[in-house]
Structure 1
Amino acid sequence: MGRLISIASGKGGTGKTTTTANLSIALGKMGYRVCAVDADLTMANLSLVMGIDDASTTIHDVLAGNATIEEAIYATRYKNVHLIPASIDWEHVIRADPRKLPGIIKPLKEEFDFVIIDSPAGLQMDAMNATMSGEEVVLVTNPEISCITDTMKVGIVLKKAGLAVLGFVLNRYGRSDTDIPPDVAEEVMEVPLLAVIPEDPAVREATLEGMPVVEYKPKSDGAKAFMELAERITRIAGFKSRVMR
């Protein structure tokens, strides 16, 4: 049976979608069957990053009761990786019921080794419905104190809500002399540091090309860091949730 892992953060713009895409493809490269889910119902950027921008059926159609979840699953160009895209059409957004997300996403663990859920930032209803579709969560933050503390608060709430917080990713580290060091960030977050993703021009270039960096420039520092994150996730995913039951 597969694992359901939500990618969450306290602020927008931390790199959740980038992390979701690269982690999914890295896991696919390792031979796991993966489904990435765009559960950010208002922003819907994951499909663009993963190269599917013309999907006729999306998670919005499923949430509106107009399609089954199987009809919204697409094979990507990346080995072993599938995607459930979201719509960028506001008309679809207002018809979708985010409360249905956990019910439609959780059964996917019967079909995939990993289901990686790109969730909205924060603790609003749409974010909570998306994040609670998982059983485990990986937090993503940037090395700024306000971002770290906001994401720490999200982690506390999600843990109280019953999710197993696997740890956090410190993304875009090294872009400023005032960046919070990884050891200090880990002390504030009070959960394990899973990976430090460096500030790497290759990541931005890959985004402009509509391709995750682990595929675009697999030898870059950013790509190597995402591969290390995937390897760590395979070692710990499922363990904490089993202990918590």
Structure 2
Amino acid sequence: MGKLISIASGKGGTGKTTVTSNLAIALGKLGKQVIAVDADLTMANLSLVMGLDDADVTIHDVLSGDANLDDAIYSLPNFDNVHLIPAAVDWEHVIKADPRGLPEIIKPLKEKFDYVLIDCPAGLQIDAMSAMLSGEEALMVTNPEISCIADTMKVGIVLKKAGLAVLGFVLNRYGRSINDIPPEIAEDTMEMPLLGIIPEDRAIREGTLEGIPVVLYKPDAEGAKAFMDLANEIVRISGVKSKVMY
């Protein structure tokens, strides 16, 4: 049985999509069958950073009843073991798709894949909650800034109360400022395990522009190594829903 993991945050711009794409490919490199789902129905970017330019059918079409789920699943031949369900970028599709249908669509994917990674909108609005509650576990993404950490902590608390197993958090883009919150302080504030530190790395930005996540674009880069470490940690702890981990 596969794992359903919501990639979530309290603020936009923390790098959830970058984490989702790189974690998907890193897990694929470990031999896992992975599908990444763009559940950000209004600000879809996952297909762009994973190099899929010609998606005729998207999750919006499935939600509106205009397509079957299998028609929205794309294999990514450049990325071993990785598939993608993209989202549309035009407003016509957005207004037709009801985000409350996401859990019904996404949850059955765990029958076919080892890992289902759900790229969720930020915050606690209905579209974000519908996406996040499509998962059974959650990986929080934050930046080393106090307001971002505080907001992401709040989302994590809500998800725990909703019954998700919050695996921990990723401290993304660490090292871009001398004022960054140190990892140990971030972990104390978040009150959940710190699972990975992704450094500020030019190679990550370059890979994003090329539509090739850094774990393949420059696998020897510090950012790529950090994502591989995160993937190994996710394999180690995912599927354990007991709150003993806290």
Settle same-fold status: TM greater than 0.5.
Answer: yes
Alpha-carbon separation, structure 2, partners of 1:15 and 1:209: 16
**What's the counterpart of residue 174 of structure 2?**
173
Whole-angstrom CA distance in 2 between matches of 1:139 and 1:241: 17
How many residue pairs get aligned? The number is 244
Q: Aligned partners of 1:151 and 1:108: how far apart in 2? A: 26
Q: For 1:240, what is the secondary structure of its paired residue?
A: coil
User: Once the 2 structures are TM-superposed, how far is the Cα of residue 134 of structure 1 from its aligned partner?
Assistant: 0.3
TM-score (norm 2): 0.98
Deviations 1:171-213 (A, max 9, x none): 0000000000000000000000000000111011111111100
Q: For 2:241, what is the secondary structure of its paired residue?
A: helix
Equivalent positions of 1:1-245 (< 5 A) are 1-76=1-76, 77-240=78-241
Letter in 2 for 1:78: F
8 Å CA contact retained: 2:51, 2:210 = no
Q: Distance in 1 between matches of 2:169 and 2:224?
A: 17
Amino acid corresponding to residue 153 of structure 1 in structure 2:
K
Structure 2: gaps spanning 5 or more residues:
none
Distance 1:241 1:112, change over 3 A: farther
Is the contact between residue 139 and residue 151 of structure 1 (CA under 8 Å) also seen in structure 2?
yes
Letter in 2 for 1:168: F
Contact kept in structure 1, 2:63 and 2:97, CA below 8 Å: yes
Give the match's secondary structure for 1:105: helix
| Structure 1 gap ranges (5+) | none
Query: Conserved in 2, the CA contact under 8 Å of 1:195 and 1:225?
Result: yes
RMSD (Å), alpha carbons: 1.1
Maintained 8 Å contact 1:135/1:241: no
Change beyond 3 A, Cα 1:192–1:200: same
Shift of 1:241: 5.5
Structure 2 Cα separation of the partners of residues 241 and 79 of structure 1: 31
User: How does the TM-score come out when normalised to structure 1?
Assistant: 0.98
Matches of 1:42 and 1:201 in 2, distance apart? 27
Change in Cα spacing, 1:141 to 1:202, as seen in structure 2 (3 Å) is: same
- In structure 1, distance between residues paired with 2:126 and 2:3: 23
**Structure 1 residue 242: Cα displacement:** 9.1
1:54 shift after superposition? 1.1
- Residue 240 of structure 1 and its aligned partner are, at CA, apart by 2.1
Question: Is the alpha carbon distance of 1:179 and 1:48 closer, same or farther for their aligned partners in structure 2, counting shifts above 3 Å?
Answer: same
Q: Is the 8 A contact 2:41 2:60 kept in 1?
A: yes
CA distance in 2 between counterparts of 1:197 and 1:169 reads 7
Structure 2 distance, partners of 1:37, 1:29, is 18
The answer to whether the 8 Å contact 1:17/1:45 transfers is yes
The change in CA–CA distance for 1:242 and 1:152 in structure 2 (over 3 A counts) is closer
